[in-house]
Structure 1
Amino acid sequence: MSRLKNQFNLGEAFGYFLRVFSKPDPSKPSNFNLKTMHTINKISILMFLVCLIVMLYRAFIR
Structure 2
Amino acid sequence: MGVLRQLAEYFYIKKRDPNAPHTKWMQYMHGINRISLFMFLVGLIIIILKLFVFRKH
Give the root-mean-square deviation of aligned CA atoms: 1.8
Size of the alignment, in residue pairs? 52
Structure of greater relative contact order (alpha carbons < 8 Å, 6+ residues apart)? 1
The structure carrying a bigger helix percent of its residues is 1
| Identity over aligned pairs, percent | 37
- Counterparts of 1:13 and 1:27, CA distance in 2: 18
User: Structure 1-normalised TM-score?
Assistant: 0.67
What is aligned with 1:24?
A: 16
In structure 1, stretches of 5+ residues that fail to align are: 1-10
What is aligned with 1:57?
A: 49
- Counterparts of 1:32 and 1:51, CA distance in 2: 29
Q: How many Å apart are 1:19 and its aligned residue? A: 2.5
2:17 counterpart letter in structure 1: D
Q: How many Å apart are 1:26 and its aligned residue? A: 3.5
In structure 2, stretches of 5+ residues that fail to align are: none
Q: How many Å apart are 1:18 and its aligned residue? A: 1.0
